[in-house]
Amino acid sequence: MTTLPSLLFPTSPIPPNPLGEGKKIKTAAALIIGDEILNGKTQDTNSNFFAKYCFEFGIELKRIEVIADDEDEIIEASRRMVKNYDLVITSGGIGPTHDDITYQSIAKAFNQPLDYHQETLNRLTAQISRRTDLQNQTAEQKTARERMALFPTKAEVLFVGEDIWVPVCRVEGKLCIFPGIPSLFQRMLTGLTPYLPLPDTRPFRHLIHTSLPESSIAPYLTSLHQRLKPDRIRVGSYPLLQKGVTVSLIGENEAKIREIGEEVAREIQGKVVEETDASTKM
């Protein structure tokens, strides 16, 4: 059987900064939509990938919510998140079936009608033309398929990959709608990067491990946490069952964090086990 080469489409041009000239994304939130997540059928990995993405680019991820395929819940959560955060992503609920209601719910949330996006329909049709199993679908089946090109009318439609016909829809300059399929979500989020006004600075993470129990180092870490607040360096501790504790130092001043790391290693009888900065790929 002959494998056809992938269809390639032009990507969207970079639009003006949706937050306003000179403004950068500082905070983010993720809205994971799907009954299958809540009933345990599917394990959510998209929020974890998004968390790593935010850390890499210096965005503070403030909230992750998982909600049902329920219109009222999507409307409430999307409005609240857009009000409170600079970047909001949704994952899931944009397929051809009855419970794929993300587009219509977000359109209602921001008082927009739905309309077919012609370029998306064109790209979908081009993909279908290569699928013999979809050539003889009924009118009802075709209508269901084309629901995937029915977007809020004021949404920005961003094609972020030459070999991906599905676009990212951005509403209110902040809320980006993604599919739930992990491999596609990851490719599209990565492809969206040039379209986002990302921060100019990146975080640095320093990890120190000790075999001491957490209770033994707690007083020192509490004091350290208070001392480093003015430097905007966060201190975390993560115990491993019967294997000690890993202490995390996160901030933007790498030199300062390395200096503090030496102190921490002495005080908790530990050693540096990993260093991660924004240049490390996910």
The model's pTM is: 0.89
Mean pLDDT of the region 203-213: 95
Which range is least confidently modeled, 64-73, 94-103, 129-138? 129-138
Domain shared by 153 and 237, yes or no: no
Report the b/e string of 224-240 with b at 16+ CB within 10 A.
beeebeeeebebebeee
Is residue 153 in some structural domain?
Answer: yes
Cβ(71)–Cβ(105) under 8 Å?
A: yes
Domain shared by 35 and 141, yes or no: yes
Domain boundary at 158, 173, 195, which? 195
Q: What's the pLDDT score for residue 133?
A: 66
Distance separating alpha carbons of residues 90 and 93, to the nearest angstrom: 9
Q: Phi and psi dihedrals of 38, rounded to 5?
A: -70, -30
Mean pLDDT of the region 1-18: 83
What pLDDT band is residue 41 in, cutting at 50, 70 and 90? Answer: very high
Domain boundary at 169, 195, 221, which? 195
Distance separating alpha carbons of residues 271 and 256, to the nearest angstrom: 17
> What 3 state SS string does 214-260 have?
HHHHHHHHHHHHHHHHHHCCEEEEEEECCCEEEEEEEECCHHHHHHH
Domain shared by 118 and 75, yes or no: yes
Distance separating alpha carbons of residues 119 and 162, to the nearest angstrom: 14
